[in-house]
């Protein structure tokens, strides 16, 4: 007997399906899918949430000085001419960053193995590259989801059965974060 459901797919297709569904579940909070897929998604999602809870406070804050390009009022880089060439002007800025401990870094990389990249497009529907931004789902896991479930001992997801699907009669369920 296998330790997982095959879902009628090859291993690469199954892995891609589960990665997509787990990413969407943790980004949106709830998704609708079949019951068997929901049960597999639950396994992966709960492992990731447990990993985030275990490593959420495992970092140190460090203050660094960074060279940042100086910008004008329009947001463009300021340039000056040095020896006949245009050179960008930089200024030093002090920043406070979170430096991960080795175990948190490992947890971050384990999560990145599962998550697909998400690009957030503005609500007005204009698909412009400059207006869209990439979502850091790992940071969301550590900063939002892990503190929410830190006092809970498992059972971070809920599966609600909806009924048969109209097209093929497959049993449909909603899986959501509790």
**DSSP H or E run through 141:** none
CA–CA gap between residue 5 and residue 168 (Å, rounded): 20
CA–CA gap between residue 153 and residue 119 (Å, rounded): 32
The pLDDT tens digits of the residues spanning 120-139 come to 888 776 767 777 889 999 99
Domain ranges (residues) in the chain: 11-58+101-177, 59-100
Question: DSSP class of residue 48?
Answer: H
The pLDDT tens digits of the residues spanning 20-70 come to 999 999 999 999 999 999 999 999 999 999 999 999 999 999 999 999 999
- Which architecture, in CATH terms, is 11-58+101-177? Alpha-Beta Complex (3.90)
| Inter-residue contact 90 to 63 (CB < 8 Å) | no
């Amino acid at each position: 007997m296998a330790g997982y459901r095959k879902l009628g797919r090859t291993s690469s297709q199954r892995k891609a399906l589960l990665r997509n569904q787990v990413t969407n579940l943790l980004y949106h909070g709830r998704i609708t899918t079949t019951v068997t897929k929901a049960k597999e998604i639950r396994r992966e999602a709960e492992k990731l949430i447990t990993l985030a809870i275990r490593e959420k406070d495992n970092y140190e804050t460090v203050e660094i000085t960074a060279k940042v390009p100086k910008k004008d009022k329009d947001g463009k880089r300021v340039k000056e001419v040095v020896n006949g060439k245009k050179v960008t002007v930089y200024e030093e800025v002090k920043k406070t960053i979170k430096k991960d401990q080795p175990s948190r870094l490992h947890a971050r990389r384990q999560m990145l193995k599962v998550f697909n990249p998400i690009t957030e497009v503005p609500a007005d529907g204009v698909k412009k590259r400059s207006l869209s931004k990439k979502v850091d789902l790992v940071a969301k896991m550590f900063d939002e989801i892990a503190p929410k479930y830190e006092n809970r001992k498992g059972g971070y997801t809920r599966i609600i059965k909806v009924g048969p699907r109209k097209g093929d009669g497959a049993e449909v369920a909603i899986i959501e974060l509790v």
